[in-house]
Structure 1
């Protein structure tokens, strides 16, 4: 098994993602909420993202990346704690977005999250944006 195989995204007919395809985004919860912002789907993570809560974020990311050519921004500025469980759902969602001709980017101005990404060797995969893109020139 290759390291990339861990990022393999189940098809919508497999697992909990099957329930999300073609439906509205999941309801906001204590750890994630989703909204549209121009051409983007913004998934905002909140509080602590760890083994116990990563699935709450994962449900929103699965829904956000379920369509063709998704353009997803994951806003991590309100996250107080983020561990490898959160990294796992980010990697899975980014792989799914890429497979469908889209992209997933993160928004974070938190140095400790930047250090986590660098330590995990993921800073090149998820170069953080300091804020949500505002003008058309920032949206590409």
Structure 2
């Protein structure tokens, strides 16, 4: 969201796939706006936009599953697929759920085949050890 505003990429669509039912939209907006305000001051007010609105972010909570901290079958499948194909490790709580959403978006044509996608891997490696039995069952 911050890059979208700094670069004035109004055509970018940002979708967050949240691991909890109540995304901290207010916190995200406040932190981003503080950063935008700071960067705008540092650049002598050269930013075209220094305010993030709620409409700048889309939230999809349909990959939440049965609760925060509870992996889903789709997240486990996404983790295994990405590990096998790309040697990238995702965790079942955050990035696994987000990747399962990205895969479903791609398979259902919610993403235009000609578009570029940026997936932000936000970490979560310690969760791999917590769920190692589920993750290693097919390897």
Same fold (TM over 0.5): no
TM-score bracket, normalised by the shorter chain, equals: under 0.3
Structure with greater helix share of residues:
2
- Larger RCO (CA under 8 A, 6+ residues apart): 2
Structure with greater strand share of residues:
1
